[in-house]
């Protein structure tokens, strides 16, 4: 797939602050194909041509920040409220990005999808800026998922999000632009079982 040209003002926002209780350890640090999981998201954002990459850390913050930098240059934001859920990390990351007046789009990436392709990241960044409600996400061959692009005009609406649903709370009632790609949905690595299944080459758990 050809990587589209993204706006020079698109910034990657990697949410990597969680405790990963289902995994039983700091999964962001687990190496897959020679890189920690969190570094895969950073590398995909850089390969997509995003202007900057911001990583939100919380649990095991120093180790996760160090691991993230193995994927490329990062700006680290600490979320002291990470235990309250993913929404707090999204707010913390947006607050850090918002100070730069030239940033028009953030692309939200998760720290546990090592199969994410740069082309999907770039396409979402491009689509969010033009989307009627400023929201874009990927429609893969087998479902919708991350990354999610959020245009600047939408950011004020994120101030009241809470819990672990993050930007998903905004999807209902809004015109979400769907960016179609031919790839299959990159499976999350939520448990050790998921990692073993991936290493065996099995498909994602249904």
CB within 8 Å of 55: residues ≥ 6 apart = 14, 16, 38, 42, 64, 65, 68, 74, 75, 76, 77, 111
Tens digits of per-residue pLDDT, 65-120?
Answer: 999 999 999 999 999 888 888 888 998 999 999 888 889 999 999 988 888 899 99
Tens digits of per-residue pLDDT, 16-70?
Answer: 998 765 655 678 888 888 999 999 999 999 999 999 999 999 999 999 999 999 9
Tens digits of per-residue pLDDT, 130-150?
Answer: 898 899 998 987 778 889 999
Q: All domains of the chain, ordered by start, with CATH?
A: 10-200 (3.90.550.10)
Tens digits of per-residue pLDDT, 149-168?
Answer: 999 998 888 777 766 655 56
Burial of 139 (0-12, 13-18, 19+ CB in 10 A): middle
pTM: 0.84
pLDDT at 13 over 90: yes
Which pLDDT does position 205 carry in this prediction?
41
Q: How many CB atoms lie within 10 A of CB 144?
A: 14
Indicate the SS3 state at residue 33: coil
Which token pair is 23? 């995994």
Which pLDDT does position 1 carry in this prediction?
47
pLDDT at 198 over 80: no
Which pLDDT does position 200 carry in this prediction?
55
Which pLDDT does position 23 carry in this prediction?
58
Determine if the peptide bond prior to 6 is cis (ω within 30°): no
What average pLDDT does the segment 116-131 reach?
91
């Amino acid at each position: 797939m050809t990587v589209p040209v993204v706006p020079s003002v698109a910034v990657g926002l990697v949410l990597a602050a969680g405790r990963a209780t289902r995994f039983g350890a700091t999964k962001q640090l687990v190496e897959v194909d020679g890189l920690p999981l969190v570094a895969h998201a950073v590398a995909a954002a850089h390969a997509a041509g995003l202007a900057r990459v911001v990583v939100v850390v919380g649990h095991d913050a120093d180790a996760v920040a160090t691991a993230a930098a193995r994927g490329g240059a990062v700006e680290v934001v600490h979320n002291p409220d990470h235990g309250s859920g993913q929404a707090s990390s999204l707010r913390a990351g947006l607050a850090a990005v918002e100070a730069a007046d030239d940033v028009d789009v953030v692309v939200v990436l998760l720290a546990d999808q090592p199969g994410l392709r740069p082309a999907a990241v770039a396409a979402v960044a491009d689509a969010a800026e033009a989307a009627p409600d400023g929201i874009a996400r990927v429609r893969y061959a087998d479902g919708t998922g991350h990354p999610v692009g959020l245009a600047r005009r939408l950011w004020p609406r994120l101030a009241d999000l809470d819990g672990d649903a993050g930007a998903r709370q905004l999807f209902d009632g809004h015109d979400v632009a769907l960016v179609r790609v031919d790839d299959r949905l990159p499976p999350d690595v939520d448990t050790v079982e998921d990692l073993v299944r991936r290493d065996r080459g099995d498909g994602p758990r249904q």
